[in-house]
Amino acid sequence: MNSSDERLRLFQEIIHHQPSPIDLLPDQVEAYIFNNVPPKQCGKVLKDLGYILPLIKYDNKEMTAVDEFTGEKRYKWALLGHLRRVRRVKKCIDASAVTSPPKKKQKGSNDSSIELQVLVGSVEHVDAIFAEPSVDPETRDKLQNLMNANELKLEKRMLPGRLAKSQEELHEWNSRYDGQGWWPTLFFEKQSSEFKEKEMEISIEEEYSIFKTFLQAAIQDAKQYHSLLKQNVYKGCGAIVVDPESNRIVSSSFDEFNAKVQEEVNRTGKSIEYVQNLLLGNPLNTPVMLAIQGVSRIERNAASGLGMDSNLFKNGQYLCTGYDVYLTKEPGVFESMSLVHSRVRRVIFGVSNMEDGGLGGTGNTTSVHCLPGTNHRYRAFRLLESDNSDLWNKCKKLCTLFY
């Protein structure tokens, strides 16, 4: 292990876990299959089943219900959209064993050593259709007619109840039954838990070389307010917006404040002191909001004289998409929501906001960046509290200066 790996962590990600749809799925599900389906009939069987009992994926919100015993939210029927509808099996293999499909054979071939099995639906769902025909008589009749026309019988089989969470788990599934494998299952590496964890991992080197550097820049942003105004304003918050692709500061709250002051002085002819006090009296002119407005100013300037239909504007930055925001203090609730609307990528802050923190920095459940149902989410990191941390002490001192 190199020396950089031995350094203490400076930041901690704030995560309030929200169950994802896949968390509601069981590891296994009992399902019905049609065994030994004649190849010439298989296409028609698959087409009809697609209409009668489509394989629903886990993100279908209409399939939810409430467990009558626990009161917990669950899916009404087992969702099987992660499974292949059909699989090929060597006849020499025991029918109770589940195998992965062999290589695709040439179209039109008549390999008598291969038989086809077709997934119908979950046992719970299919049994409900036949047990309560008055509930869905059309589905029952169509399924019964399909079985009669093709001389098919339902057989029970335990199948994977969800997507594999990692390559290792998928390999383990495919190694079951003496290497013959389980039922063919879809797997999307970029949607797996393993891939997402690696993608979201923050190296300790990034904490020291990037997070620390730009948080220090946010500290300087806050100090400029104190040096210029000497007033109890903003309660010690500095804010900057950074483009992580180039590691360049795009906007700072103090620069935008000065730009707004100069703009208003030129427009009204009022004194600088008058305009400063006027802007400070506006509750929307917080450092977080000003830093966001600074990005908007750049976008407006890009379209100035060219119009919003120009390629320069269309191909330019959209809001704060993909940008990181560094703050000396945790944003309030309304500021946190403005960061959602601005499409920021990450928010990194120093000290927690004890009054109205919006990111859960104090351990409360108010975490705007984790709210379900929002059209955008970002990641939030807080500086770990430590009296031995120079960065922490600077952020804490700023709050003291402004109170």
Complete DSSP assignment for 267-280: HH---HHHHHHHHH
Share of the chain above pLDDT 90, in %: 35
In the structure, what pLDDT confidence band is assigned to residue 1 with cuts at 50, 70 and 90?
A: very low
Last residue of a domain, one of 190, 212, 232: 190
In the predicted structure, residue 273 carries a pLDDT above the cut 80: yes
Domain assignment present for residue 196? The answer is: no
Same domain membership, residue 318 and residue 213: yes
> Distance (Å, rounded) from C-alpha 223 to C-alpha 160?
58
Sheet-wide strand order for 154-160: 86-90, 114-122, 28-37, 154-160
pLDDT for 73: 58
Contact present, 236 and 328 (Cβ < 8 Å): yes
pLDDT for 237: 85
Range of the domain at 122: 21-190
Share of the chain above pLDDT 70, in %: 75
Q: 174-178, 281-285, 292-296, 354-358 — which is least confidently predicted?
A: 174-178
Average pLDDT of the segment spanning 177-200: 69
Domain assignment present for residue 3? The answer is: no
Domain with 380 in it: what CATH number?
3.40.140.10
pLDDT for 74: 59
Q: 88-102, 166-180, 298-312 — which is least confidently predicted?
A: 88-102
Average pLDDT of the segment spanning 109-113: 57
pLDDT for 266: 94
Bridge partners of residue 34, in order along the sequence: 118, 154
Domain assignment present for residue 272? The answer is: yes
Tokens at residue 105, please? 């054979």
pLDDT for 18: 60
The larger pLDDT score, comparing residue 164 to residue 250, is at 250
30-87 residue pLDDT tens: 999 999 898 889 999 999 999 999 988 765 454 555 555 555 555 677 888 889 999 8
Opening angle at CA 370, ends 366 and 375, nearest 5: 120
Total-model pTM? 0.63
CB under 8 Å to 346, separation ≥6 — which residues?
Answer: 244, 324, 325, 378, 379, 380, 381
Same domain membership, residue 182 and residue 210: no
pLDDT for 195: 62
Average pLDDT of the segment spanning 187-213: 74
Q: Domains in the chain: how many in total?
A: 2
Bridge partners of residue 379, in order along the sequence: 346
CA–CA distance from 307 to each of 183, 294, 298, 299 (Å)?
Answer: 56, 19, 14, 11
Opening angle at CA 336, ends 335 and 342, nearest 5: 85
pLDDT for 310: 61
Same domain membership, residue 208 and residue 81: no
pLDDT for 217: 95
Average pLDDT of the segment spanning 353-381: 85
Domain assignment present for residue 7? The answer is: no
**Mean pLDDT computed over every residue of the chain:** 80
pLDDT for 175: 79
